[in-house]
Amino acid sequence: MKLHQVIQGSTEWLNLRANYRTASEAPAMMGVSKYQTRGELLKQKHTGLSPEVDRYTQAIFDRGHETEASARTLVEDIIGEDLYPVTCTDDADYLLASLDGRTFGGQTIFEHKLWSESLAAQVRAGELEPHYYWQLEQELLVSGAESVIFACSDGTPDKFVSMTYRAVPGRAEQLMAGWKQFDIDLANYVPTEAAAVVVATPTNSLPAVSVQLRGDLAVASNLPEFGQALREFIQNIPAKPETDQEFADAESACKALKKAEEALESAETHALAQMSDVEAMRRVVADLKHLARTTRLAREKDVAARKEQIRADIVKESVLKFSEHIATQNQRLGKPYMPQIATDFPGVIKGKRTIDSLREAVNNELVRAKIAANEVADRISLNMATLRDLASQHAFLFADTSVIVLKQPDDLTALVKLRIAEHQVAEEKRLQAERERIRAEEQAKAQREAQAAEQARQREEEGQRRAAEAVQAEAERMRKAQEDRELAELKNADQAAANVIPMRAAAPVAATAPTLKLGEIGERLGFSLSADFLANLGFEAVKVKNACLYQERDFALILMRLIAHIQAVQAKQAA
């Protein structure tokens, strides 16, 4: 807040006010002032010309200053602090408020109005009309005070009432939106001619109807002249009034026609009082009466219909302008997010009789609706920015964006955070379930592989067992074959012995030392073998120095066990 060292009411003070949006102008800007229309304020700001203050108005101002000073003392006694009149502007150097009083600390300010019973009743009830509270809202906004002592008095304790007014949530935002729209309208303002006070154009009086009966039963009258004048009069009545002036002229003419009907009827009655039946005179009078009446009724219907048409046109024009304003807001937002904003153009023109009052009423309603729409659009824009900042990575969670952007910003922020948090919890549960599924699959796979390995091992052992059995069977076969050969040799030897001289049996041959070298085994096979490998097959070497020696008779068995080993490896590979 910035204080200005000017005296309220001085030329310097008036010049300062001309450059700002003042608190006393706030009601007119909002279209609720009792003393100035919004259109008049627009014209004043556009031209820079303020209405001249007449002697009567100046007297009211002077009286207000006197009572304000007395009331200030009464309020000081109530709050226990001194009050000082100040003029201040806001930090943005845009709004101005002239305060009737302000405490030294600035927490409390004072506003005074002249005594009136209706205002005193509002103060006692603690409920002020918009005409008063918009000024107080701006004074609180500019000064930064916590409350206003609002008093209504005539300067005496007997007629003094007061109340404490505090800013109502949301009104400051409405006030700023109103001034924003006012600046837009001011930039586009086109001056119009001031409407003059409408007074019906004086109508030429129709000639007095004169019908007299002479003694010879002849009728003497001015009906022909009256008829001519009546027809000329009717031709001058506006057939389709457009302006307030034409409406007034048409309504005045209808009143004149009504009088003509009455004059004709009176003349006829007067003539009939002189003569019971004068057919020609009655026909003329009837024709003229019918002409006057039908014309009057038709014009009255035309006037009423035209008024309704103009009212309808004014309402239609305002509806169209507001629709264009909504379209502009949607274009600014980049999305058709604007909701339906309630308007009551037909309601605000009820009771309005002149075209100017009709237009003023619908213009005020249009401005009110625009301000409300601007407030909603600003809230939507703020919410869209919040969504971009907080939910850019989670847009899929907000398919109902067109609905939730209408929420209050704090509510939307809470909703966005809640949805994202719930999604993250759900996503973590999903990932945990996915990890559990993968772990189970890997465990099952490991079990299958272990089972397969076990089965392969069993098959290998089975193959080795079968190979061993085959080797043993082959060895047994070879042993038996050897025994059969030896037995056959013995038989042959016995037969030979029968033919020779018996001799003393020779002693058994001792077991021979191993002579088959490991290298020789490799040469016979065509590949090298290790002593350890042969040991695994069941053949232990006898080491003589660095040589590994085996029995020559074991070579065939070695071959069979090699074959069995190879078959076992082949079976394992096939598995």
Structure confidence at residue 231 (pLDDT)? 77
* pLDDT tens, position by position, 487-532: 777 677 656 555 544 444 444 444 577 888 888 888 888 888 888 8
Q: Which position has the token pair 């993250």?
A: 424
Structure confidence at residue 250 (pLDDT)? 73
Residue type, 513: A
Distance between CA atoms of 129 and 33, rounded to whole angstroms?
Answer: 10
Q: At what angle do helices 355-391 and 244-274 cross, to 10 degrees?
A: 150
Q: What is the mean pLDDT of residues 338-361?
A: 87
- Res. 330: pLDDT tops 80: yes
Distance between CA atoms of 17 and 6, rounded to whole angstroms?
Answer: 11
* pLDDT tens, position by position, 272-303: 655 545 556 667 777 777 777 887 787 778 77
Q: What is the mean pLDDT of residues 13-20?
A: 90
**Residue 544, strand partner residues:** 547
Beta carbons of 151 and 113 less than 8 angstroms apart: yes
Structure confidence at residue 206 (pLDDT)? 59
Q: Which DSSP letter does residue 102 get? A: E
At 95, give phi and psi (nearest 5°).
-100, 150
User: Which pTM does this prediction carry?
Assistant: 0.54
Structure confidence at residue 472 (pLDDT)? 74
Structure confidence at residue 203 (pLDDT)? 52
Structure confidence at residue 212 (pLDDT)? 55
Distance between CA atoms of 448 and 456, rounded to whole angstroms?
Answer: 12
Most confident by average pLDDT, 198-202, 419-423, 518-522:
419-423
Distance between CA atoms of 27 and 128, rounded to whole angstroms?
Answer: 12
CATH of domain 2-187: 3.90.320.10
- Res. 476: pLDDT tops 80: no
Q: Which of 468, 485, 572, 554 is nearest to 516 (CA)?
A: 554
Residue extents of the structural domains in the chain: 2-187, 211-368
Structure confidence at residue 159 (pLDDT)? 94
Supply the mean pLDDT for the chain.
Answer: 83
Q: What percent of the chain has pLDDT over 90?
A: 40
Beta carbons of 217 and 275 less than 8 angstroms apart: yes
Q: Within 10 Å of residue 361's Cβ, how many Cβ atoms?
A: 21
Q: Which of 153, 132, 164 is nearest to 64 (CA)?
A: 153
Distance between CA atoms of 176 and 375, rounded to whole angstroms?
Answer: 9
